[in-house]
């Protein structure tokens, strides 16, 4: 199956010139633009135009157009479909062999992608940013990205990264990362409330005071125990002589609230993230708030790649603005 039918009075027959009039595959391979040759080899290896486009970090429509032009250049059908799978035609196999040999001869280097190091507070990574990061990787399979999860102030001080996203207790960004950054940018203010799964609490029997918590198991993400802004809740947990569990994994705390009939402290946006959870306002008299901050290392080496990550983060928070208002 040709990607693009040739124009002219001969139509598809133009691909079927007599073999004796064709130049050798070796000669054809030498005339192909190295970038197009790379597109062809990646497509042949992946067996899927969409996956090949992801690996090359280009649009699938552009890839198919360039390969169609290649078929016109060599005057051969290079790909065909067997069921839903993309395979090389016999001519495509000949060209692949010559291009592989030529690549070894030229010793074409792999284009190194810049390594971007991103550190994110664990709740923000899990609840807000994770899905968009996965979407980024689906669009661009050649990205080199190191993602570091921050579970507290100590881990924030220990990292040296390109982009950092953290939580502070006060109006300002301090305490922040230990390395020098550009001016930190505030992204959102988070209010914290106890949450419970709807399945374990009817509206008429949900607790509305601290005393009502005696009938419930409490769960705490252990890094939160050191957060000054969350002390009203931490004091309740510390006073417990029974029916309390502390966990190191943020995702485990969420599962214990969802499936274990526990009550735990979460940002107020959680009912938007998970419709099965409901906040319990009024349990504690004191308000608990934290601020989300974004900063870029002042000495980044790959500004364009870093800016792509920054724009992704800012765009994610803008799209979810109603979560924080």
What Rg, from alpha-carbon coordinates, does the chain have? 28
Mean pLDDT value across residues 144-168:
91
Its domain, for residue 282, covers: 115-324
Mean pLDDT value across residues 285-305:
93
Do 55 and 134 fall within a single domain? no
Q: Give me the CATH number covering residue 79.
A: 1.10.10.10
Do 145 and 237 fall within a single domain? yes
- Among 42, 74, 106, the domain-final residue is 106
Calpha distance 209→255 (Å, rounded): 24
Calpha distance 265→250 (Å, rounded): 11
Q: Is the pLDDT of residue 19 over 50?
A: no
How does pLDDT run across 196-230, given as a tens digit for each residue? 999 887 776 788 888 888 889 999 999 999 999 99
Specify the number of domains making up the chain: 2
Q: Is the pLDDT of residue 100 over 60?
A: yes
pLDDT of 105 reads: 62
- Among 106, 137, 154, the domain-final residue is 106
Between 245 and 153, whose confidence is greater?
245
Calpha distance 212→206 (Å, rounded): 8
Q: What are phi and psi of 123, to 5 degrees?
A: -60, -40
How does pLDDT run across 73-89, given as a tens digit for each residue? 999 899 988 877 888 99
Calpha distance 32→29 (Å, rounded): 5
Between 137 and 165, whose confidence is greater?
165
Burial of 96 (0-12, 13-18, 19+ CB in 10 A): buried
- Among 106, 138, 164, the domain-final residue is 106
Do 277 and 152 fall within a single domain? yes
Answer for the pair 289, 190: CB distance below 8 angstroms, yes or no: yes
pLDDT of 21 reads: 38
């Amino acid at each position: 199956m040709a990607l693009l039918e040739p124009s002219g009075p001969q139509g598809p027959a133009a691909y079927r010139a007599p073999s004796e009039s064709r130049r050798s595959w070796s000669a054809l391979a030498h005339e192909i633009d190295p970038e197009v040759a790379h597109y062809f080899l990646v497509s042949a290896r992946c067996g899927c135009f969409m996956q090949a486009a992801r690996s090359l970090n280009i649009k699938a429509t552009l890839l198919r157009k360039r390969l169609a032009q290649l078929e016109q250049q060599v005057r051969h059908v290079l790909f065909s479909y067997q069921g839903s799978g993309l395979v090389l035609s016999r001519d495509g196999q000949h060209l692949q062999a010559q291009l592989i040999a030529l690549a070894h001869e030229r010793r074409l280097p792999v284009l190194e992608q810049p390594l971007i190091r991103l550190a994110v507070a664990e709740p923000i990574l899990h609840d807000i940013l994770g899905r968009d990061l996965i979407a980024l990787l689906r669009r661009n399979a050649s990205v080199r990205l190191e993602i570091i999860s921050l579970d507290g102030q100590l881990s924030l001080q220990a990292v040296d990264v390109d982009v950092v996203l953290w939580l502070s207790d006060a109006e300002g960004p301090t305490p922040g990362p230990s390395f020098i950054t550009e001016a930190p940018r505030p992204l959102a203010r988070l209010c914290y409330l106890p949450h419970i799964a709807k399945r374990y609490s009817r509206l008429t029997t949900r607790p509305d005071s601290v005393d009502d918590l005696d009938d419930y198991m409490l769960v705490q993400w252990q890094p939160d125990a050191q957060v000054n802004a969350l002390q009203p809740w931490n004091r309740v947990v510390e006073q417990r002589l029974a029916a309390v569990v502390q966990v190191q994994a943020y995702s485990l705390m969420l599962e214990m609230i969802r499936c274990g009939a526990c009550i735990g402290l979460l940002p107020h946006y959680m009912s938007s993230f998970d419709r099965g959870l409901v906040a319990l306002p009024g349990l504690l008299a004191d308000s608990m708030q934290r601020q989300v901050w974004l900063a870029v290392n002042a000495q980044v080496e790959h500004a364009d790649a870093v800016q792509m990550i920054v724009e992704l983060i800012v765009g994610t928070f803008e799209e979810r603005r109603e979560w924080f208002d």
